[in-house]
Structure 1
Amino acid sequence: MIGYVTLGAHDVEAALPFFDKVLGAIGYERGFFEGGWAGYGPKGESQNLYICPPFDGQPARAGNGIMLALRARDIAAVDAAHAAALAAGGTDEGAPGPRPEDSKSFYGAYFRDPTGNKICVFAKADAA
């Protein structure tokens, strides 16, 4: 079980509107922004996703081959998160839809945040 995830950002405060919109679309909310860190988690629960500057003081950059995948409650939330990402300055890495194309069990969308981190938002058939 994963306890939490951190994503590096060039400017955490500037990244907040992007993450507020995208994560809000899947039922997450920002629990705090303090000391250069922002914490997000499912509404009413503990934070499990943190946006922060890299600990080593070097510029934030996306990891090659690293992707964060967040489960949404349904396909409407996947569509909303992808639209929010693009509207808030993210870049498209794969429009919402079934993966593979004929799948009846996995529906996902892919995008990058302004730092370049790759993110997937998905719903499983049991949530559709």
Structure 2
Amino acid sequence: MGANNLEASRKFYDSVLGALGIGAGVINRDIRYFYRTPTGIFSFTLPIDNKDATPANGGTIGFAAQSVEQVNAFHAAGVANGGTTCEDPPGYREGPGGKMYLAYLRDPVGNKICALFREPK
């Protein structure tokens, strides 16, 4: 994902991903951060074309949470660290995949992210 200010994005993502139990990002080549977990990798970077990063139109990146409390902590950490809430407030939604608890944020660039806890069936 693109970033325009590495420190602002690091602070934001260290906070929201930390609320989900993911360790702090590791800088690479002074232009990007990586967050590695046993189930995947997330990264943000300064654009290599030296143009401003812009958010995807219609794109959302989701992160799995283990509980409603983690989703709420993710949302609170994001708002406290340069993010803005978007869509509905954190809460339950019903969908084809069952009952889910979701929270949506926009990061410092405006990228849309969410944390989601899927209720056990």
Cα drift, residue 56 of structure 1: 2.5
Q: Deviations over 1:56-108 (max 9, x none)?
A: 3210010110110111111110000000000111111132100149x972100
Q: Unaligned stretches of 5+ in structure 2?
A: none
**Equivalent of residue 8 in structure 1, options 2, 19, 24:** 2
CA change 1:37–1:46 in 2 (3 A) is farther
What is residue 66 of structure 1 aligned with on the other side?
59
Cα drift, residue 30 of structure 1: 2.6
What is residue 106 of structure 2 aligned with on the other side?
112
CA–CA distance in 2 between the matches of 1:71 and 1:34?
A: 24
Question: Which ranges of 4 or more aligned residues in structure 1 deviate by more than 2 Å?
Answer: none
What is residue 32 of structure 2 aligned with on the other side?
37
CA–CA distance in 1 between the matches of 2:94 and 2:118?
A: 13
What is the root-mean-square deviation of aligned Cα atoms in Å? Answer: 2.2
Give runs of aligned pairs for residues 79-94 of structure 1, distance below 5 A: 79-93=72-86, 94=88
Counterpart residue type for residue 34 of structure 2 = G
Equivalenced residues, count: 118
Q: Between the two proteins, what is the percent identity of the paired residues? A: 36
Cα drift, residue 53 of structure 1: 1.1
CA–CA distance in 2 between the matches of 1:50 and 1:38?
A: 5
Q: Unaligned stretches of 5+ in structure 1?
A: 1-6
CA change 1:121–1:55 in 2 (3 A) is same
Moved more, 91-100 or 28-37: 28-37
What is residue 50 of structure 1 aligned with on the other side?
43
What is residue 3 of structure 1 aligned with on the other side?
none
CA change 1:31–1:47 in 2 (3 A) is farther
CA change 1:96–1:46 in 2 (3 A) is closer
CA change 1:117–1:67 in 2 (3 A) is same
Cα drift, residue 47 of structure 1: 6.0
What is residue 90 of structure 2 aligned with on the other side?
96
